[in-house]
Structure 1
Amino acid sequence: MKKSPILFVTMFLLVVFLTACGNSAIQSTGSSNEQPSNNGTNEETDEQGVVKIGSILPFSGVYASLGKDLSDGMKLYFDQVDWEAGGVKIEMIEEDTEADPQVALRKLRKLMDQDQIDILTGAVSTAVAYAVRDEVDSNQLPYLASHAGGNDLTRAQRSDYIWRSSFSSWQIGHSMGAWAYENIGEKIYMAAADYAFGREVSAAFKEAYEAAGGEIVGEVYPPLGNNDYASYLTTIGSAEADGVYGFFAGSDAVRFVQQYEQYGLKERFPLIGSGWLVAEDLRESIGMAAEGAFVSTFWDYNLETAENEEFVTAYEEAYDRRPTIESLEGYDAARIIVEALTALDGDVQDPDKIVEAISEVEFVSPRGPIKFDQDTHHIIQNLYITETVVEGDRTENKILETVESVQDPGE
């Protein structure tokens, strides 16, 4: 029997069609495996077991060295736990804020939208921390502030999703007040860099010093980034005071302390202030002019505790340089994150549970015992009064007194 040409053509087309559908189905399945949808099980499997930590720090500009030290401190601790906690791997994604609030906002949005981070940390500049505050709060993003010390971050701008492991300007300034009255004298002249943090630290010192019975006999506020302090030092030199309280940091601190000696004030007025005045990374540049300074700080290289000696040794072995206070901040921030993840068994799906776990972390740090104030979300820690002394051909800070468990009032 002869087959109909029409029937033959129809059968041929049917085979081609079915073959094409089969190949298409195979190709579709392969494509799905390579690029699963956002709700696909394959993506969940790929992402499961990885926690993303976003870090916003300055790696360029005036605060670049602080950003690097914070970053290195974090990496040192993460290295020590093999970048794992609670059964999950830790991935840290760093962005350079340039210490610019608008740049920081753009980088934060990239971390949230593109990288889909689970936890945020960092910020050196208080202005940056304030700038990202609303984005963090509205997106319910757990944020562990690891340096920026502006008071309002845990006061007027307090958020359920922000906890701070570093310090507040109030802690730094207030801790020196009573000691200065008892050990320096009844009259103090104040000098501080003219920006928000400098003003806050000075106000906190003034509050504590006057409460102890002392009198502030004068105040000067040179601009940030000042090169010549001659006119200010001349004004201070004409005052009747028992000492001078100063808040300067970075290159400002180097120039102020050196010029303080050059203008003969060091011989007349003991210089007191915050730890950044004679910080670990500045004293070599300052030279012997730093000798005799008294400052308050929440950590020092020469703290004689097992925890600090272990940290210093590990840091120096890893980076071939001394740690700074920012290195310690990064190290502690990483440990807080690790302990929180461990308590959660690595489950970071609920931001409220993450911040709750962070809030409950407490341990003995290289700086001493630390824990969080549940009301302010701010760290409770020891502050130390140090004196800068000469040892051999360099200066070192010597611990004189411990002010225990300093708690920001949160007002």
Structure 2
Amino acid sequence: MRNFAVDRSAVTVALVYPMQGPAGIFGPTCELCAQLAAEEVNRSGGVLGRELRLLPVDGGASPQLVAAQVAALVSLGVVDGVAGWHISSVRQAIAPRIAGRVPYVYTALYEGGERTEGVFLTSETPDGQLRPAMQLLTRERRIKRWFIVGNDYVWPRRTARAARRYAFALGSAICGQAFVPLGTQDFSGVLRCIERSEADAVLMLLVGNDAVRFNRAFARYGLAARCPRLSTLMDENMLLAGGAGAGEDLFSAAGFFASLVTPENLDFHGQYAARFGADAPPLGSLGESCYEGVLLLAALIERARALDVRSIEAGAESVSYEGPRGLLQVRRRHVRQRIYLAKARGLEFDVVAQLTS
């Protein structure tokens, strides 16, 4: 690790986001959205009267390597907090190593159940995101048999277990599942399994470029015409990378879509375009979550008037902030928010419903 100087004139946050691997596809948007939030905070006076600075850390490396880097930054006093989007296996490696030492805002949708001291979560969990999406599609499309395809780590596997419960309660069933390593290139075997299963729909729990490759293969195999797909991790960058033909009958559930017509979202688009230009990476829920994370971390520290984790936790229930997803509040260290279902239309998502949990 490089030598870092401790600067007490600033509040420094380790921004952990993927710069490589399957999730690297939306890393650039994560970085720019976090930067936009930090600049906004600093224009309003910073945090505790100090400048808020971001220190990038590659969250796409191996979980233990990322955790070791973050823990070292915390131990050396270089960073006062941690925020960012990274997969759950990275979070599970980081959280115990910095528990109670600095506040940690995790911005990725995840499987639920995180209780580590000092960890706050801005994004969706299956009960509020997947369950109502499955309920709506099951009813509208008369789905009886779901097939699950996901990457082989904690978020897809635990979410799949939740999906099995939801399907049972809705009178449908999980007729098959397949978990593949991160970075999988060939989905032909999975597609044959889906075809043999006679599934009515596919629940897709794949990350970044893995989802892009699966969607392309799914379309080439001819399954899109008979089998809708639902993803809880699918943003505009991934849709664009897949191409228009890969998005037929593809649904996504999330707390943010670039196409949402709200005053907050329109303002966010304007700020993003003015700051980074027309050629900036497309906005999507995964990158935008890093904007939310920086705003939440600043709000938590400001409410506590301290960087101490216990002081921050003591005041967290009264914390609220306003961002592209509207006015949001913290409850039990999770941010509660509206969730939407959208359908791919070419290279964009069209929001078709607001979900109720």
Question: Aligning the two structures, in what range does the TM-score lie when normalised by the shorter sequence?
Answer: 0.7 to 0.9
Q: 2:68 aligns with which of 73, 90, 106?
A: 106
- Output one character per residue of 1:32-75: Cα deviation in whole Å (capped at 9) or x when no partner: xxxxxxxxxxx9xx83x532323333334443344432222111
Shift of residue 171 of structure 1? 4.2
Distance 1:107 1:286 in 2: 33
Which blocks of at least 5 consecutive residues in structure 1 are unaligned?
A: 1-42, 407-411
State the shift of 1:364 in Å.
4.3
Kindly name which structure, 1 or 2, has the bigger radius of gyration based on alpha carbons.
1
How far, CA to CA, are the matches of 1:89 and 1:371 in structure 2?
24
Tell me if 1:307 matches 2:269: no
Query: Match of 2:257, as an amino acid?
Result: D
Deviates more, 1:359-368 or 1:246-255: 359-368
Structure 2 unmatched ranges of 5 or more: 1-5
**Closer, same or farther in 2 for the Cα pair 1:355/1:99, shift >3 Å?**
farther
Q: Given the alignment of the two structures, is residue 398 of structure 1 paired with residue 356 of structure 2, yes or no? A: no
Give the equivalent residue in structure 2 for 1:298: 255
Change beyond 3 A, Cα 1:224–1:77: closer
Cα deviation, residue 317, structure 1: 2.5
1:79 equivalenced with 2:39 (yes/no): yes
| Residue 146 (structure 2) aligned to one of 169, 189, 200 | 189
Residue 79 of structure 2 aligns with an amino acid whose one-letter code is I
Taking structure 1 as reference, are residues 284 and 105 closer, same or farther at Cα in structure 2, changes over 3 Å only? closer
**2:102 maps to 1:141:** yes
Name the CA distance, whole Å, in 2 between partners of 1:270 and 1:118: 45
Query: 1:143 and 1:382 mapped to 2: Cα distance?
Result: 23
> 1:62 and 1:186 mapped to 2: Cα distance?
30
Among residues 120, 124, 133, which one is paired with 2:86 in the alignment? Answer: 124
Q: In structure 1, how many angstroms separate the alpha carbons of the residues matched to 2:350 and 2:85?
A: 29
- Paired residues of 2:338 and 2:354 also in contact (CA < 8 A): yes
Q: TM-score if structure 1 supplies the norm length?
A: 0.76
How many Å separate the matches in 2 of 1:247 and 1:91?
33
Higher mean C-alpha displacement, 357-366 vs 264-273: 357-366
What do residues 249-294 of structure 1 show as CA deviations (whole Å, max 9, x unaligned)? 3222122112212222112222233242xx2002222222203212
In the alignment, the residues of structure 2 paired with residue 280 and residue 301 of structure 1 have an alpha-carbon distance, to the nearest angstrom, of 8
Tell me: CA distance 1:52–1:357, structure 2 relative to 1, closer, same or farther (3 Å). farther
- Cα–Cα, structure 1 residues 183 and 329, in superposed 2: closer, same or farther, change >3 Å? same
Counterpart-to-counterpart distance in 1, 2:30 and 2:317: 21
What is the alpha-carbon distance in structure 2 between the residues aligned to residue 330 and residue 323 of structure 1?
Answer: 11
Structure 1 residues 88 and 359 mapped into 2: Cα distance closer, same or farther (>3 Å)? Answer: farther
Q: Who is 1:233 aligned against?
A: 191
| Alpha-carbon distance in structure 2 between the residues aligned to 1:285 and 1:120 | 29
Residues matched between the structures, number: 345
8 Å Cα contact 2:83-2:294 kept in structure 1: no
**3-state SS of the aligned residue for 1:192?**
strand
Q: Does 1:160 align with 2:122?
A: no
Residues 1:239 and 1:323: Cα distance change in structure 2 (over 3 Å)? same
Q: Which has the higher contact order (CA 8 A, sep 6+)?
A: 2
| 3-state SS, counterpart of residue 93 of structure 1 | strand
Deviates more, 1:120-129 or 1:351-360: 351-360
The CA deviation at 1:150 is 4.0
**TM-score, L = length of structure 2:** 0.86
Structure 1 distance, partners of 2:217, 2:21, is 25
Note the C-alpha offset of 1:389: 1.6
Counting aligned pairs with the same residue, the percent is 21
Among residues 208, 220, 234, which one is paired with 1:262 in the alignment? 220
Report the AA paired with residue 214 of structure 2: F
Does residue 12 of structure 2 align to residue 52 of structure 1?
A: yes
